[in-house]
Amino acid sequence: MFNKILIANRGEIACRVAATCRRLGVKSVAVYSDADANAKHVAGCDEAVHIGEAAAAQSYLRYERIIDAARATGAQAIHPGYGFLSENEDFARACEAAGIVFIGPPVDAIAAMGSKAAAKALMHAAAVPLVPGYHGDDQDPTLLQREADAMGYPVLLKASAGGGGKGMRVVERSEDFAAALASCKREAASSFGNDRVLIEKYLSRPRHVEVQVFADKHGGAVYLFDRDCSVQRRHQKVLEEAPAPGLEDGVRRAMGEAAVAAARAVNYEGAGTVEFIMTGTDFYFMEMNTRLQVEHPVTEMITGLDLVEWQLRVAAGEPLPLGQSQLSITGHALEARIYAENPARGFLPSTGTLKHLRMPQGVEFRLGHAGQRASVRIDSGVREGDTITPFYDPMIAKLIVHGATREDALARMKRALEACEVVGPHTNVEFLQRLVICEPFASADLDTGLIERNHDALFSPQQKPVREALALACAALLGREGGAEHGASPWHALSHWRLNSGFAQTLSWRDVESDTAFTVAHTHDGGDETLAYAGHEARYTWWCGEGKDEYGATIGDKRVRGRVFIDGDVFHVFCLGTAMAFEWQNLLAHAADAEHGEGRLTAPMPGKVIAVLVEPGAVVEKGAPLIVMEAMKMEHTIGAPAAGKVTEVLYGVGDQVADGAQLLVLEAA
């Protein structure tokens, strides 16, 4: 086993690898950029080395700096995590040349599976089932259009060197092909430095099922069963589970054996994932990811194994710890990816400081030996007070649960999501809550179009306990203003407290999400309190809980408890499994107006301008694409809100823009 390794990554995967290193007594070295100087993964390692500026291209993708850091610290091996350089054959080759072990597959295996087209040819030779498609070298747009037309629509365009849903487009009609191809190639070139694409027949309502494989340097190879990753938005996974529900034993075994055959075809070593697309009981090879996957924890939960430990042992030359006959499945596991993003705005990334972050009770990582499983596990690379920046993936945490059955795991996931509290950037927590209880997911009617097909149910406004949340907000305000929250003297209070007499006060609130105004009348008379809201009046009592930010209230005969995080005049209430935010309309404060003029087009997120499609003087129709932005590895096109004339373009290609920045001026027709 190694004495010291360097982790060439950041965030939750760097923290995850460091946790295994600590358990095994292996020292770990972190690398960090300007933006990550105080990051959690830096604090979690034994040593840390600064490698560059905030942008990944100037830090985490500069592998010569990473190798220099490994040399300087005496690290014997480098763990690449996932993303960044994890599947970069040049990096693996440079590690080999420097005499440093790359904790991953051989360079030839990375190269073979790095090109989707080449991988398809290898899988065909290895008798692994393939989806019909075009994987040729000729990238002439006319030829590609002809191949797609002959195949029949819909078709799927995929970046040959891609992954993670980048450089991927579904094309429904022949007349849309050229535009989709150009966009796909542009995104592929930006993300992977290679604009080559392949075309596949797009299968309707397919499942995305993948198999975890492991191979050693001694000819051993096993599969550690399967995961269903069908629940996706924009081809990126949202919920994963293991094992894949509803697979017959024969299909599970056949898929596992096909995955091992795929690994053996490229003389694989280490951890890898073979991804299949399924319709019914038929499965087809999609690609092989030559690294550890984001969703590897669900496999760890059902097998009781530490996959990072396996990676280290295999890279150190040891044989696989277990053979195929010794592997088994126990229970069911689910993983939800909690992102800083806004589902209501097309899942646009959200940035900002995590002013308040509270995860459900669980453990960050604990496996060790088979059977030592936590029912709730949190893998996270951020802490309260950290900032989600536009430079990296906006993941806040991975929430993983394990249960004896899928139903047990679902119930545990529902409760765990209800306990998540985040204040700062927008998150997808409430979307995940709706997703895990929606009928298709609950009944395991899974396919990659599940979210879009159930759009109305998943995105429609949800009924929330407004009265109860308002009561807790009032409790927090009265506690703060009355001094009761901290045991302060009422003589110093700013509230309407009176000695030996009653009082009445009107509390004005604004629901931050819906911009709805609420007027609450609070009356205290001879020891009795009442609360009036929306024409209803009820007895009201409130109290401060024992824990920080905990409050309780009784409204009539209903008793409610919750937590309230106060950020200035905004009261974030977490109760009954929901989150609401109310702004106290403090009459002593100045109201701020933010009006946007007609024709003003603003950035929906912080990011970089990668294409300007119009010039001043251009006359455009409603919906015409104007500017393309990129942030957090996502591309977003700004369209014209109405027909008109572009009078001024305020940013050029390569410029960084802030969220809400005006991009151009459009004079309405």
d(CA 302, CA 500): 64
Confidence bin at 505 (pLDDT 50/70/90): confident
Range of the domain at 160: 132-201
Percent of the chain that is helix, strand, coil (3-state, to 5):
30, 35, 40
The pLDDT of residue 374: 75
d(CA 318, CA 309): 11
Which tokens belong to 240?
């994963």
Does some domain include residue 109?
no
The residue among 631 and 259 whose pLDDT is bigger is 259
Percent of the chain with pLDDT over 90: 70
pLDDT digits (tens, 9 = 90+) for 203-222: 888 999 999 999 999 999 99
In this prediction, residues 387-399 reach a mean pLDDT of 94
Look at residues 103, 123, 154 and tell me which one is the last residue of a structural domain.
103
Cβ contact 637:631 at 8 Å:
no
In this prediction, residues 445-468 reach a mean pLDDT of 91
What are the residue numbers of the active site? 291
Does some domain include residue 120?
no
Does some domain include residue 396?
yes
Cβ contact 542:552 at 8 Å:
yes
The pLDDT of residue 413: 97
The pLDDT of residue 592: 33
pLDDT digits (tens, 9 = 90+) for 232-289: 987 789 999 999 999 999 999 999 999 999 999 999 999 999 999 999 899 999 899 9
The pLDDT of residue 371: 41
* Cβ within 8 Å of residue 125, ≥6 positions away: 265
Q: Which range, 64-73, 151-160, 624-633, has the best average confidence (pLDDT)?
A: 64-73
227 and 317 share one domain:
yes
Find the angle CA(187)-CA(192)-CA(195) to the nearest 5 degrees: 60
The residue among 242 and 462 whose pLDDT is bigger is 242
Confidence bin at 533 (pLDDT 50/70/90): confident
The pLDDT of residue 600: 58
93 and 165 share one domain:
no
159 and 267 share one domain:
no
292 and 431 share one domain:
yes
Find the CATH number of the domain harbouring 170.
3.30.1490.20
279 and 409 share one domain:
yes
The pLDDT of residue 499: 52
Ranking 280-294, 313-327, 495-509, 627-641 by mean pLDDT, the lowest is 495-509
d(CA 638, CA 135): 32
Expressed in angstroms, the distance from the first to the final Cα of the chain is: 70
pLDDT digits (tens, 9 = 90+) for 575-607: 999 999 999 987 544 333 333 334 558 887 778
What predicted TM-score, i.e. pTM, was given to this entire model? Answer: 0.80
In this prediction, residues 43-62 reach a mean pLDDT of 96
pLDDT digits (tens, 9 = 90+) for 654-666: 898 877 788 999 9
142 and 223 share one domain:
no
Cβ contact 316:309 at 8 Å:
no
620 and 578 share one domain:
no
The pLDDT of residue 238: 94
Does some domain include residue 116?
no
pLDDT digits (tens, 9 = 90+) for 354-373: 999 999 986 655 554 444 56
d(CA 528, CA 20): 57
The pLDDT of residue 132: 82
